Amino acid sequence: MEKIHDVTRPPLEYVKGVPLIKYFAEAMGPLQSFQARPDDLLISTYPKSGTTWVSEILDMIYQGGDLEKCHRAPIFIRVPFLEFKAPGLPSGMDTLKDTPTPRLLKTHLPLTLLPQTLLDQKVKTIYVARNAKDVAVSYFHFYRMAKVHPDPGTWDSFLEKFMAGDVSYGSWYQHVKEWEELSHTHPILYLFYEDMKENPKREIQKILEFLGRSLPEKTVDYIVEQTSFKEMKKNSMANYSNVPTEVMDHSISNFMRKGIAGDWKNTFTVAQNERFDADYAEKMAGCGLHFRTEL
């Protein structure tokens, strides 16, 4: 592991036209040697869409609801983040070396950058999508606290960048659409953050069915409880509090920030909302996906 000198908000770097955090762009080369296994389970999301939440749910399912076992390591070690790389922390590829089978894997990559081996091995994937307005707000605060990102600038300028796909991982609009299209031909369970907020037990049952697993009802209830926002916020193995401050500064904004649907209303001005809606209608025209922006 390299020593942390200075993370200092490097500009995004483009890989096949996709803007990425500089360190993640550097990880794309080594990721070429990644070999998927048929019993891997991939968690795919656009950033800030509920990745950590569904990761904790899946690890709890894999550990049969044993919370102590889920406390064995931070979430980014239990669920290796394929393209992750940052100063002073093990990369996703490093973490994978010690990850026993069956593996849970995380990615935010759009399809153009997804390692082909995951498709070749027909790896089951759980995709979580979240409404664009809450993602934009959550992403803004994440840019502020996670210093591997460029400076987000003002909220207004960040929102413009988000709409233009000029943020790490590129366009939200393209990401949610292309993964939905892929779900027609590949084993992908497509979930929504808002559905998980509305009825987590129902969504966990969907996950169990997709995995071909079953758990006693009281274990499912326990998983619902332990993966609630309130519990995960105080769980040091789930809340990213063990990441060095140079990389994530929770005093600027907590990783576990609000965990609700509809928080965008506290941030968007009326004018921003109108502009966003008009642009959204154009970008999502003809797309069957329906997102709820409040519950």
Question: Where does this chain bind ligand PPS (CB under 6 A)?
Answer: 45, 47-53, 134, 138, 141-142, 227-229, 232, 256-259, 263
Whole-number minimum distance, CB 216 to ligand PPS, in Å?
22
Per DSSP, the residues of 182-205 read HTTTS-EEEEEHHHHHH-HHHHHH
Nearest CA to 197 among 132, 75, 104, 292?
292
Alpha-carbon 145 to chain mean position: 16
Nearer to ligand PPS, 47 or 87 (CB): 47
Whole-number minimum distance, CB 158 to ligand PPS, in Å?
14
Nearer to ligand PPS, 121 or 221 (CB): 221
Per DSSP, the residues of 117-148 read HHHHTT-EEEEEE--HHHHHHHHHHHHHHBTT
Nearer to ligand PPS, 14 or 229 (CB): 229
Sign of CA dihedral 191, 195, 196, 201: negative
Catalytic residue selected from 108, 141, 149, 175: 108
Whole-number minimum distance, CB 38 to ligand PPS, in Å?
25
Dist CA 50 CA 136 (whole Å) = 13
Q: Is-catalytic flag, 186?
A: no
Nearer to ligand PPS, 103 or 133 (CB): 133
The catalytic site residues sit at 108
